[in-house]
Amino acid sequence: MADRYMIEPDLNFIKELNGMGADTLKKCYQCATCSVACPISPDDRPFPRKEMIAASWGLKEKLIKSCDIWLCHNCGDCTTMCPRGAKPGDTLAALRNYAIMDYGKPRALAEAVNDPKKLPILLLIPAVIFVIVGLITGLLDFTPEGSEIVHSHFFSSWLVDLIMVPASIWTVVIFAIGIKGFMKDIHENAVAEGKTQKEKLEIVPFLKSIVNVIPKILMHSKFSECGENEERATSHMMVLFGFIGLFIVTSIFFVTMYGFGIHGPYSQLNPVKWLANIAGVALVIGSALMIKNRFAKQPDQNTTYKDWSLIGLALALGLTGMLTEMTRLGGAAGLSYTIYFIHLMFVFALFVYLPYSKLAHLVYRTLAIAYADYSGRKF
């Protein structure tokens, strides 16, 4: 700490953080209560006190390249104990949002995803793409045959996948670019700040660390250590497992359709359908609980557009998905096709906007936790 260096405050960065929910940041007077209040902060260079002063000084590089901001699970223990109402929890949330935008290229799209005014356009894009691609390819059939409601008769699976597969590839590519920069940055930052003894970032041991931490992440073991978090861990787990369940279902569906030529809809007796239903319900209940918790925590915790848009999307995906199924079983063809269309738009939004939305924490936090494991940061 005795090193001297000239700091270069990025005033714009401070302003932007302010706008992203860290509006109480400057109230901090560095008492360090937060670092002790945090149940998961390590003994060596604990957070979030150091993040608070760095943010206050506008040290953008030091912050968004730090793996520590991702180790925080935003439980709010620090905010509750803060003697000044500086809400360190909100500052760390804002820093993570900032980092997501910074690693999500192109920047313009990242900004659009985080701008509520752009939401209608962003949702309109998939609709337009669908209709245009559908009309060009002739895969959009406005007069589906048969008395049974089969969504793929209306929206051909070819059409859906013609759009969704490239959308998924897009997501993977964008993430790959983001991850490359992210890993390089957090390692350099850890070396520079003496948070690790490892000089080089070795791929194989790091991958082992990922394997190490995934069960812990799934079990929410760190999440549950956070004092104010018990309810949140449950709802978060429901949403996460909901998404995982639906991802598995979609993958099975995809493989069986293209591999074995078996088409949906599956019978309600099919175990895959059970999983789909359970996962869908978990997603709806989990995201509804999150909304309830967010309201209950106000005004102690800032909830920004980024928070609402993600929870909203999760709820919308779950609801439209479940309603599509229910209207199909209920025989309301027009309604079912409409809801399914909306559902598809949300799925597109989930894929394409994922690297820029708060949901990107799925990737970055996992990597950061794995990095902490790899680098020997006791956390």
Partner 1 sequence: MTESTQALGNGTILVVGGGISGLTTALEAAEVGYEVFIVEKNPYLGGRVAQLNQYFPKLCPPTCGLEINFKRIKNNPRIHFFTLAEVEKVSGSPGSYDVTVRLNPRYVNENCTCCDECAKACKMEITDEFNLGMNRQKGAYLPHEMSFPSRYVISPQIIGTEDAQRCKDVCKYGAVDLDMETRSMNLNVGAIVWSTGWVPYDAGRIDNLGFGRYPNIVTNMMMERMAAPNGPTEGKVLRPSDDKAPESVAFVQCAGSRDENHLPYCSYICCMASLKQATYVRERYPDAKIYIFYIDLRAPGQKYEQFYQRIKEDENVFFIKGKVAEVSEDPDSKGITVTAENAMTGEKIHQTVDMVVLATGMQPSAATAKLPADLTYNADGFIVNDFKKGGMFGAGCANRPADVMSSNQNATGMALKAIQTLVKR
User: In the complex, which residues of this chain contact partner 1 (CB under 8 A)?
Assistant: 1, 29-33, 35-37, 41-46, 49-50, 81-85
CB of 191 to partner 1, least distance (A): 16
Which is nearer to partner 1, 80 or 168 (by Cβ)? 80
Closer residue to partner 1 in complex, CB, 81/332: 81
Judged by CB, which is closer to partner 1: 39, or 312? 39
Both tokens of 201, joined, read 């970032």
Q: How far is the CB of 176 from partner 1 (least distance, A)?
A: 33
Rounded to whole angstroms, how far apart are CA atoms 211 and 373?
10
**12 burial class (0-12, 13-18, 19+ CB within 10 angstroms)?**
exposed
Measure CA of the first residue to CA of the last residue in the chain; give whole Å. 21
CB-nearer residue toward partner 1: 31 or 272: 31
Contacts of 128 (CB under 8 A, 6+ apart): none
Residue 108: count of CB within 10 angstroms of its CB: 8
User: Which residues have C-beta within 8 Å of that of residue 88, sequence separation ≥ 6?
Assistant: 28, 34, 48, 49, 51, 52, 78, 79, 82
Question: CA 272: distance to chain centroid?
Answer: 25
Minimum separation from the CB atom of position 100 to partner 1 (A): 26
Q: Which CB sits closer to partner 1, 117 or 378?
A: 378
Residue owning tokens 């709802």: 235
Tokens of 52: 């608070």
Report how far residue 326's alpha carbon sits from residue 321's, in angstroms, rounded to the nearest whole number. 9
Smallest separation, CB 241 to partner 1 (Å): 33
Preceding omega of 9 cis (within 30 degrees of 0): no
| Closer residue to partner 1, CB minimum distance, 83 or 205 | 83
∠ Cα 207 210 215 (to 5°) = 145
Write down the least CB distance from residue 54 to partner 1, Å. Answer: 11
Q: In angstroms, give the least distance from the CB of 78 to partner 1.
A: 10
When the beta carbons of 49 and 73 are compared against partner 1, the nearer one is 49
**68/325 with CB nearer partner 1:** 68
CB of 82 to partner 1, least distance (A): 8
3-state secondary structure (DSSP) of residue 359: helix
Minimum CB separation of residue 222 from partner 1 in Å reads 17
Could you give the C-alpha distances from 197 to 47, 68, 375, in angstroms and in order?
19, 16, 7
